[in-house]
Amino acid sequence: MKQSHRLEYVVDLTKIEGAGDFPCPRCGVVISPEDDSESVYSILETKVRDVDECLEELLVLCHKCGSKIRLTGFLSSVSEGK
């Protein structure tokens, strides 16, 4: 794993309540999936499962503090629906 000056956190979306909004683990700014302005955060990387092209993970960058946040838990909601 590469070392970086910026911190990286993991947020499991199955453990948060609401519509997907969550505070940055470092600075507390609210990150919302509804915000498409990229003023608060930007998406750095997406990880999609090859078999069915379902989203597995997103890596986002908080613009307030520079933290990288790895979002997981996308597949568990898809798996439960089967």
27-67 pLDDT per residue, tens: 999 999 999 899 999 999 999 988 888 999 999 999 999 99
The answer to the question of residue 63 being in a domain is yes
| Residues 54 and 78 sit within 8 Å (Cβ to Cβ) | yes
Number of domains in the chain: 1
Q: What pTM, to 2 d.p., does this model score?
A: 0.80
The answer to the question of residue 78 being in a domain is no
How many whole angstroms separate alpha carbon 20 and alpha carbon 14?
Answer: 9
| Residues 31 and 18 sit within 8 Å (Cβ to Cβ) | no
Coil vs helix vs strand at 21 = coil
What region does 6 belong to: left with phi over 0, alpha with psi -120 to 50, or beta?
Answer: beta
The answer to the question of residue 54 being in a domain is yes
Residues of the domain holding 21:
8-67
What residues have CB less than 8 Å from 2, skipping those under 6 apart? none
The answer to the question of residue 79 being in a domain is no
The answer to the question of residue 48 being in a domain is yes
Sorting pLDDT into bands at 50, 70 and 90, what band is 15?
Answer: very high
